[in-house]
Structure formats: structure tokens, C-alpha cells
Structure 1
Amino acid sequence: MPRPKRDLQRADLRVDFISGAVAHRFRFGGGRGQDLAKAMGFRAGKTPHVIDATAGLGRDSFLLASLGAEVTMIERSPRMHDLLLAGMEEARLEDGEFSKIIARMTLMLGDAKELVPSLSGEAILIDPMHPPRKTTALVKQELRQVREIVGVDEDAADLMRVALEHATKRVVLKWPAKADPIEGIRPCSHQIIGKSTRYDVFMTV
């Protein structure tokens, strides 16, 4: 089932690649030693072509592009797509390093299940809207705002199956560290587990 498309009434959510947490991660995040980069197959002399099938705020795409990857981003929410376009244009106008990174990022509007089969990607990243937390802790305001726009990814298993069929090297599922696996897909090849996030890596070769 597609994510419901709902407009966000708040005006303060924006995509920002040039300041705050994104810029800090870019400058001090640890480069190819970061869990995401390792999960996606970055290593010395190897930079995969990446498809980010659930672009969201674009932060993972920006990080991967900052490491030299060509990244194709897919976002099916028109509202989130517009926010991404605005953030990318702002970063492009910064010139210097930021504009070079944005030049490696391509944004597409549509359903990844339909678009992925026509694309060529060595590594496909899937970061669905995660299931509700089992604790009562409040989700960060920004994440709540994103969820108001995109809803919940009830078709994550379907997207995983499409990705597994078409990725030439690997599919990476970004998922809460303690969350149960997605039902209906094969076991992952290996995992990289952080404090709050884990990367389930599915090798396709």
C-alpha cells in the first residue's frame, strides 16, 4: 500500500545540507569509516553507484555523495520532493564543496518500486519510516513532521523485494537496532549494528 500523501501544516521543516547536523557529519563524521559507508560497500578504491530509494530529508544521500558516490534519490511524496529540491538548490548556490556534492545527487519523484527496475545501481539503500517505538519516549519533532508528510511505509517489504531483484551488488536496509526484521524477505547476509540504528546488508552477488 502506498504511503498516504498528507500535507504538513507547519512551516518550519526544511532540508538543510549546509549547516547543523548535516554539515557537522560531513566535516567530522569519519568518512568511509562510518557504518553507513561500510554497509553500502565503500572501501579503498571502491565507490559504488547508489540508489537511495527512500530519500526523505536526503541526509544519507548527501553523506554518500560527499564520499564521491553518484547517488540517485527517489522520493514519492511531492511535498518532501519539493523540500529536497529547495535544500539542494540552496547548497548548490553555496558553491565550493557543497555544489560539487550536490552535482553528484540526482532527485526523482515517484514510487521506487516502479522506478528502480529502470535504473542501474550497485547498492540500493532503503530507509523506510520506521515502526512505532516500543517505548513511550517522544520521537524528535523533526521526525514527527516527516511522518506527517509521508505517513508510514507499509509497503517496505514489497520495495525490498524489488530492490533485491535489481541491485547488482547489495541492498542495505536501515532499521532501528532493536526492531524485528521485516517479514516476508530473506535473511540478510550480515549486519552492522550501531547504538540506535542497524544496517541489514543483503548481498545479491
Structure 2
Amino acid sequence: MSVTIGVLATADPELEALSMAYGLNPLTAPPSEGQYLLWLDGQLQLAEVGEKGRVCVDLVAGAQAHRRKFGGGRGQPVAKAVGLKGGNTPSVLDATAGLGRDAFVLASLGCAVTLLERNPVVCALLRDGLRRAALDAETAPIVARMSLHQAAAQSWLEAAAPQSFDVVFLDPMFPEPEKRARAKKEMAAFQSLIGGDFDSDALLAPARAVARQRVVVKRPRAAPWLAGSKPDFGYDGESTRFDAYLPIKPQGAPD
């Protein structure tokens, strides 16, 4: 499967900017069957040609709005996992940002969040979602605390200064065919396009060197530990768990 940018009506400056930023090829008509298509119709959307399902990043309305208003604030598992309690509002590096949902929740709770995403299609979808959220009065202050970079997590972590973020958050794509089959058809297509993060085990060690307070790994409830490493502590959600690891200080660093 290939990914292309499709301009189905008139050229749009934002779509052109996205295609240039992420190396995606603009078209003037839909591609042949069996390809994925990105286009801008108020919001950037991803779909498989011939299918009705759409994937987009909407941080203003829908599920994200409900979670922002009624999700439980600092009492929800992801907030507890990163250590949002009392006066602690950590800086967070989300090294596997995906569609940015957890990162947006953490930013809505006051965290400064740096987002890394290596896939150019996902990065384009997320950038468009952040752009639109920045235009909304309620979500603009949240987006102001978020910074998106297209980068491979492992190389970025290995090049980062030791202990440069309070928390490193990892949510690698976990390939589970049986769950993918039960997912909504559009999300199943998205997962098929992106694939699993088969190199995710290599992220744990450099993440522990970059974190000052902890590394948090989001996993399906029954998934194995990342890199086979038992967490120091953890938090359970309904369908997921959050494994937490204490940082590893570089040699020679003061205690």
C-alpha cells in the first residue's frame, strides 16, 4: 500500500504546506484502488480508496472534548502514571505520539509536552489537528503547551541531553491482529498502514537516561513488559496499563 496526498477540488495552501513538510506527493485526482488517500476538507483525512471510513485528528470536539471536560482530570490513569499530583506538573516527552490523544490530555492538565512521531502521514494528520485546535478559544491554550517534531524516537532519545525531561511517555503500536479485527474499520486500516513498532524495546534504555522522574509505558493489559523489563510500579486502566520505570542516571551524575 502507498500513501499519497490527493487534492480533490482546488489546491489548498495548508495542504500544499503539509505535503512539502512531510514529503507527500500532491495529486489532482484520486489514485488507483488499493492506495491510501489524504485530503483536506476542513480537516485532513486519511482513508483507503473505495472505503467510507475516515481517520483524522480532532482535538476540539467529539471524544477528546468529552474527555477534556468529563474524563476525570488528574484522577485518570494516564495523569496518575506521569505523576500529576499535588503541585507536580511535569514536562513530558511523548516519544511515540501517534494521533496525540494522551499528549493532548496531559497538556490540558498543564504539562508542557514535546511530541515525536516518525511516520510522515501520522505527523501530517497530527499537525493539522493541532493547527485547528489552535484556532479554537478553548483549546488554543492547551496547544500552546505542545510542540510536534517528526523524528524517530530512538535516535532522538540517544541524542538528547541526559535527564532533559521530567517524564518520557511511550505508547508504541502493539500489533494484535485479533484486536485489530474488532476495531472500527477506519482505524483497522490506519493500523494496517502504520504497522507495529517492532523496534520499541530499544526505546526503554535511552528513555530512562533522558527522564528525570520516570518513564511511563502504555501497554494493553495482557501485553508483555517492554524489553522484558519488569516495571518499578504501575497503574491499571480499563483496557490498558501504565508501566512506570525509574530513571537511570548517567555515570558520574550527582545523586
Shorter-chain TM-score above 0.5: yes
Q: Give 2:199's aligned amino acid.
A: D
What is the 5 A alignment of 1:49-198? Answer: 49-94=91-136, 96-116=137-157, 117-118=159-160, 120-132=164-176, 138-182=182-226, 184-198=227-241
Q: Name the counterpart of 1:18.
A: 60
Deviation at 1:174, TM superposition (A): 0.3
Deviation at 1:142, TM superposition (A): 4.3
Give the Cα–Cα distance (whole angstroms) in 2 for the partners of residues 136 and 185 of structure 1: 23
C-alpha distance 135-36 of structure 1, shift in aligned 2 (>3 A): closer
Contact 1:6–1:148 under 8 Å retained in 2: no
Give the Cα–Cα distance (whole angstroms) in 1 for the partners of residues 62 and 153 of structure 2: 29
Give 3-state SS (helix, strand or coil) of 2:217's partner: strand
Deviation at 1:137, TM superposition (A): 5.4
RMSD after superposition: 1.9
Contact 2:166–2:213 under 8 Å retained in 1: yes
Q: How many residues align?
A: 199
Q: Give 2:127's aligned amino acid.
A: L
Give the Cα–Cα distance (whole angstroms) in 2 for the partners of residues 104 and 201 of structure 1: 23
Contact 1:160–1:185 under 8 Å retained in 2: no
Contact 2:112–2:145 under 8 Å retained in 1: yes
Cα deviation, 1:49-106, whole Å, max 9, x if unaligned, reads 0000111110101000000000000000011101111101111111x22000000000
Give the Cα–Cα distance (whole angstroms) in 2 for the partners of residues 89 and 74 of structure 1: 16
Between the two structures, name the one with larger relative contact order (CA 8 Å, sep ≥ 6): 1
Q: Give 1:112's aligned amino acid.
A: A
Q: Give 2:140's aligned amino acid.
A: S
Unaligned 5+ residue runs, structure 1?
none
Give the Cα–Cα distance (whole angstroms) in 2 for the partners of residues 162 and 146 of structure 1: 28
Give the Cα–Cα distance (whole angstroms) in 2 for the partners of residues 42 and 187 of structure 1: 22
Q: Do residues 200 (structure 1) and 243 (structure 2) align?
A: yes
Provide runs of 4+ in structure 1 moved above 6 Å.
Answer: none
Deviation at 1:13, TM superposition (A): 1.1
Q: Name the counterpart of 2:86.
A: 44
Structure holding more strand per residue? 2
Contact 1:124–1:170 under 8 Å retained in 2: yes
Deviation at 1:185, TM superposition (A): 4.4
Larger Rg: 2
C-alpha distance 56-136 of structure 1, shift in aligned 2 (>3 A): closer
C-alpha distance 63-142 of structure 1, shift in aligned 2 (>3 A): farther
Contact 1:52–1:125 under 8 Å retained in 2: yes
Give 3-state SS (helix, strand or coil) of 1:39's partner: helix
Give the Cα–Cα distance (whole angstroms) in 2 for the partners of residues 73 and 142 of structure 1: 24
Identity percentage over the alignment? 40
Deviation at 1:165, TM superposition (A): 2.0
